[in-house]
Amino acid sequence: MAALKYAGLEDTDSEEELPPGWEERTTRDGWVYYANHLEEKTQWEHPKSGKRKRVAGGLPYGWEQETDESGQVYFVDHINKRTTYLDPRLAFTVEDNPVKPPTRQKYDGNSTAMEILQGRDLSEKVVIITGANSGIGFETAKSFALHGAYVILACRNMSRGNDAVQRILGEWHKAKVEAMTLDLASLHSVQQFAEAFKSKNVPLHILICNAATFGAPWCLTEDGLESTFQVNHLGHFYLVQLLEDVLRSSSPARVVVVSSESHRFTEIKDSSGKLDFSLLSPSKKEYWAMLAYNRSKLCNILFSNELNRRLSPHGVTCNSVHPGNMMYSSIHRSWWVYTLLFTLARPFTKSMGKPLKMGKKNRTNETDLKTGRCKWKYAMNDFKA
């Protein structure tokens, strides 16, 4: 006991609590050591537990490691505009020889994209995300960019896309992010986007097919197809086909298709069990917005499964994902009834930040009454955060 008292350990309750006069530090390569200011000495072992530790993962987003004139490492927090000699990774230390933790679910419905990417260095990755100027797409783009990836926001409305880019740069001025024009309601636009991306001569490691429209009134695109089917599925299908060679040459790579649980509540086969193409791009008489959305999401999943079967042997995996039950976003904007329903459900859903407000003149599309074709006067994501 006398030895403990002399060492300053007697009055500490927690095994991990440092005694008075001790400080926890890290080396440049992430090993933890302990400085005793009273005796002016350092050691690798924790003065109380005797354990050796190292930090887990990389620096949190917005942080950089620098060295001062005396050669001592310090850390810069660009988000909060401050510097410190305390390594922010000390909150995520692990033992040198850790005991295998019990099996448990690492992430759940409350996990954020930033938490899942914590400690990951994506500085060598190139990512394309469709519909990335708002909602789930924006949060995904921001999370990748703040972890070092080169992110391309594929958006129909370049004004909104550029605004999203500036919002990300406002959080991390060194983020590598840009917006490019992609209108999924136009197969010609999809082709132009693919050609413009290929002209950059960069790899493609992650392609996230996120953009979607929901509850839109019936209208035909310039390609003569029902808009919900083309925007939610066919445009992405064509985009993947055009970029398949880049994905293969960039392996390991992946495609993520954002689908929905609502795919369960529809069918695309006729009474004989064969695929009914008339259900995919129905006439105005046979159109119901909710069914059109459900069918497009079912197509997403079927496409994802088959794409994974064909490309996984070449190092390109594909997964479809349901983003969450009634997760609040701006996808309900096409009809006030859907907006009302989503508003009532919002207290029970997961929020992605500030509520989205609809602009005074924002509409998903307009239909030419003579031709039945969409004018797409305003952007699919024409919402202000």
Would residue 338 show up in a list of annotated catalytic residues for this protein?
no
Preceding omega of 252 cis (within 30 degrees of 0):
yes
Amino acid (one-letter) located at 201? N
Tokens coding 6: 């002399």
Residue 7 phi, psi dihedral angles, 5° rounding:
-80, -10
Cα–Cα distance measured from residue 281 to residue 73, given in angstroms and rounded to the nearest whole number: 61
For residue 41, the one-letter residue type is K
d(CA 260, CA 327): 11
For 5, 38, 86, 91, 92, the CA distances from 12, given in Å and listed in that order, are 10, 17, 22, 19, 22
> Which is the catalytic residue, given 293, 328, 338, 378?
293
End-to-end CA, the chain: 61
Angle between helices 135-145 and 158-171 (to 10 degrees): 40
DSSP characters for 18-55?
Answer: PPTTEEEEE-TTSBEEEEETTTTEEESS-TTT---EEE
d(C-alpha 151, C-alpha 171), whole Å? 15
Backbone angles phi, psi at 271, to 5 degrees: -65, -20
Type of residue numbered 70: S
CB atoms within 10 A of CB 257: 25
Residue 46 backbone phi and psi in degrees, to 5: -60, 130
Q: Which of 161, 241, 160 lies closest to 207 in space, CA to CA? A: 241
User: What is the set of active-site residues?
Assistant: 293
